[in-house]
């Protein structure tokens, strides 16, 4: 009777267990679904489509791999201007202009390709001719931009009494009270190597290496090298210096934090700091500096010490002291006491016991952590530099804020990716070399 009762209880318990598991299996998808519904509502996913500006997105993507040539005429004095990216360094010399522009005095015709033409005529009159739409006329009359656009205007036209913008795949025409300006897109990064003022602009590699001397005062190789690094539009020298600043910020912050955290880690380890109050206080300091995000420390320190790369290095240092302190103290708590006792048996003093009995045991972990943080901080220093005004991050934010230098944004991002890849490779090689004693890649 007792055995039958026990078997019955076991069957009942098994049935209850399967019932609970079934309920959990049904509840988990319901909870996940409810969570996603909450996210959908809280983050207004439905309104994302209304807020999205696909025209801006297309413009930004196009700017990333192409450049704009500005062709403008002042509506007050009829002065003509031709400039790549509207930059002073990219301004064409007097009497020169792109081959797709025809100039006759203060009048000119701009060929946008695909049968699209912009004509600059007398008395501030500008016409836009397209095979897909009637000719659009624009003129400044009594300080008002007058057009023959229908009402409503086409979706690719944005018009008001003070400004008209016509956007096509071939280019963009903007007409305001001050000027009429055409932006014509072309693939590539124009003037990346040499500006228009350089005698090497338009010269190929063969011309520079084996061709006739292009500058009487310099050899082709020396002159091309100087003009490339002295390019005032792309600022290659300043950009490379900024990359060095970014790596230096990461280096100073990471290794400075390691130097500070190591002695403090002894005070946070149970086997080296028997006083509970000291150990508790040091650990809470680690938790505090580690709990505050690095960007917050960056903002605080930039207000305290002003902008600059050193402020960025301090922000990395303060943040990493907490992370290093925690990992170092945990490594110290797991050291082999027998090695320490062996060193102590030789009559070694406490400092010597730490030097020869403790440090050799934790060195692989310390180096691994330091190199990993250094690699990670190289990326973080880009964002920190954008806040403190140092390194490549400053160049990146400046290019983004101008809204017309997105090809430079692409250039900086490519350099950042290359920098991170190099740091990853070097860090991995050092870890194998110093920790495992293997200098060859795998």
Q: What is the 3-state secondary structure of 82-121?
A: EEECCCCCCECCCCCCCCCEEEECCEEEEEEECCEEEEEC
**Per-residue pLDDT tens digits for 181-191:** 998 888 888 88
Q: How far is CA 6 from CA 12, 13, 14, 59, in A?
A: 10, 10, 12, 76
* Per-residue pLDDT, 241: 94
One domain, residues 166 and 87: yes
The DSSP secondary-structure symbol of 215 reads B
312 class by beta-carbon count within 10 Å (0-12 exposed, 13-18 middle, 19+ buried): buried
Q: Nearest Cα to 381, choosing from 323, 294, 301, 296?
A: 294
Tens-digit pLDDT profile for residues 340-356: 667 677 776 777 777 77
| 253 and 146 within one domain | no
Is the pLDDT assigned to residue 3 strictly greater than 60? no
pLDDT at 138: 92
Same domain, residue pair 171 and 251: no
Task: Report yes or no on 12 lying in a domain.
Answer: no
- Closest to 249 (Cα-Cα) out of 173, 309, 160, 318: 309
Do residues 40 and 116 both lie within one domain? no
Domain end among 187, 206, 228 = 187
Would 314 be classed as within a structural domain? yes
pLDDT computed for residue 284 by the predictor: 92
Pick 416 or 167 by higher pLDDT. Answer: 416
Per-residue model confidence as pLDDT tens digits over 72-101:
999 888 889 998 887 777 888 888 888 899
Judge if 264 and 309 occupy the same domain: yes
Q: Phi first, then psi: give them for residue 79, nearest 5 degrees.
A: -70, 135
The pLDDT of 171-195, averaged and rounded, is: 88
The predicted model gives 231-237 an average pLDDT of: 89
Two structure tokens written together for 366? 């310390």
Task: Evaluate if residue 440 carries a pLDDT over 50.
Answer: no
Q: How far apart are CA 64 and CA 85, in angstroms?
A: 13
In a domain, 206, yes or no: no
Looking at residue 13, its pLDDT comes to: 67
Check whether residue 124 and residue 24 sit in a common domain: no
41/63: higher pLDDT: 41
Residue 18 — pLDDT band, cuts 50, 70, 90? low
From residue 254, alpha-carbon distances to 86, 139, 183, 204, 312 in Å are 41, 61, 46, 44, 11
What gap in Å lies between CA 51 and CA 221, rounded to an integer? 52
Task: Band the pLDDT of 439: cuts 50, 70, 90.
Answer: very low
Q: Residue 280 contacts by C-beta under 8 Å, 6 or more apart in sequence?
A: none
* Mean pLDDT value across residues 22-39: 78
Last residue of a domain, one of 162, 187, 212: 187
> Same structural domain for residues 401 and 424?
yes
Which of the listed residues 168, 187, 206 is the one where a domain comes to its end? 187
DSSP state of 435: I
Task: Please write the tens of the pLDDT for every residue from 391-412.
Answer: 898 888 888 877 667 888 889 9
| Residue 278 pLDDT > 50 | yes
Tally of domains in the chain: 3
Task: Give the Cα separation of 273 and 265 in Å (integer).
Answer: 9
- Give the whole-angstrom CA distance, residue 71 versus residue 305: 45
Percentage above 90 pLDDT, the chain = 23
The reply to whether 4 falls in a domain is no
- Helices 392-402, 406-430: axis angle to 10 degrees equals 160
Looking at the fold, whether 48 and 74 belong to one and the same domain comes out as no
288 lies in the same domain as 340: yes
332, 266 contact by CB (below 8 A): yes
Query: Which residue stretches of 334-405 are H helix?
Result: 337-344, 350-353, 359-388, 392-402
What are the Cα distances from residue 61, in Å, to 87, 112, 361? 20, 19, 52
Q: What are phi and psi of 61, to 5 degrees?
A: -65, -45
CATH classification of the domain holding 319 = 1.10.3720.10
- If you average pLDDT over residues 107-121, what whole number do you get? 90
Q: Measured in whole angstroms, how far is the alpha carbon of residue 314 from the centre of its chain?
A: 21
Q: Is 205 inside a domain boundary?
A: no
* Pairwise CA distance, residues 12 & 162, whole Å: 82
Any domain includes 297: yes
Q: Does residue 204 sit within a domain? A: no
Question: If pLDDT is split at 50, 70 and 90, which confidence band does 257 have?
Answer: very high
Question: Average model confidence (pLDDT) for the chain?
Answer: 84
Provide the pLDDT for residue 73. Answer: 92
User: Would you say residue 216 lies in a domain?
Assistant: no
Residues 373, 250: one domain? yes
C-alpha span between 326 and 281 (Å, rounded): 13
Question: Is the per-residue pLDDT at 25 higher than 90?
Answer: no
So what's the pLDDT on residue 314? 92
Q: Which of 155-169, 269-283, 315-329 has the highest mean pLDDT?
A: 315-329
Domain encompassing residue 182: 67-187
Structure tokens at 422: 């190099």
Examine the domain organization and report whether 135 and 265 are in the same domain.
Answer: no
Average the pLDDT over 131-149 and give the result. 88
144 and 250 in a common domain = no
Lateral strand order in the sheet of 144-147:
101-104, 107-113, 116-120, 126-130, 133-141, 144-147
Mean pLDDT throughout 128-141?
A: 89
């Amino acid at each position: 009777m007792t055995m039958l009762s026990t078997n019955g209880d076991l069957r009942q318990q098994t049935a209850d267990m399967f019932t609970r598991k079934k309920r959990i299996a049904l509840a988990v998808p319901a909870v996940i679904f409810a969570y996603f519904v909450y996210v959908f509502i809280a983050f207004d996913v439905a309104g994302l489509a209304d807020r999205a500006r696909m025209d801006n997105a297309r413009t930004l993507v196009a700017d990333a791999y192409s450049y704009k040539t500005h062709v403008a005429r002042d509506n007050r004095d009829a002065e003509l201007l031709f400039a790549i990216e509207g930059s002073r360094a990219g301004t064409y010399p007097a009497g020169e202009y792109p081959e797709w522009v025809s100039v006759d005095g203060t009048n000119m015709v701009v060929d946008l390709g695909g049968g699209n033409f912009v004509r600059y005529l007398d008395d501030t009159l500008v016409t836009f001719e397209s095979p897909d739409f009637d000719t659009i006329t624009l003129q400044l009359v009594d300080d008002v931009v007058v057009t023959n656009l229908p009402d409503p205007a086409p979706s690719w036209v944005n018009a008001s009494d003070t400004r008209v913008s016509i956007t096509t795949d071939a280019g963009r025409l903007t007409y305001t009270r001050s000027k009429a300006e055409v932006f014509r897109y072309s693939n590539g990064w124009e003037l990346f190597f040499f500006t228009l003022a350089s005698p090497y602009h338009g010269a190929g590699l063969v011309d520079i290496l084996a061709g006739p001397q292009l500058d009487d005062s310099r050899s082709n190789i020396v002159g091309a090298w100087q003009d490339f690094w002295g390019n005032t539009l792309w600022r290659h020298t300043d950009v490379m210096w900024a990359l060095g600043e970014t790596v230096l910020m990461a280096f100073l912050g990471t290794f400075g934090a390691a130097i500070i955290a190591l002695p403090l880690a002894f005070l946070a380890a149970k086997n080296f700091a028997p006083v509970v109050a000291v150990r508790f206080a040091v650990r809470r300091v680690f938790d505090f500096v580690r709990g505050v995000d690095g960007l917050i420390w960056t903002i605080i320190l930039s207000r305290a010490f002003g902008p600059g790369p050193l402020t960025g290095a301090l922000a990395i240092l303060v943040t990493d002291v907490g992370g290093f302190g925690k990992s170092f103290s945990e490594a110290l708590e797991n050291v082999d006491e027998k090695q320490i006792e062996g060193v102590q048996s030789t009559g070694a003093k406490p400092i010597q016991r730490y030097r020869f009995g403790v440090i050799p045991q934790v060195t692989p972990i310390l180096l691994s952590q330091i190199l990993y943080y250094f690699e990670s901080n190289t990326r973080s220093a880009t964002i920190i530099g954008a806040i403190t005004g140092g390194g490549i991050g400053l160049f990146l934010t400046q290019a983004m804020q101008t809204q017309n230098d997105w090809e430079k944004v692409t250039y900086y991002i490519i350099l950042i990716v290359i920098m991170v890849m190099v740091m990853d490779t070097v860090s991995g090689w050092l870890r194998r070399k110093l920790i495992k004693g293997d200098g060859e890649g795998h």
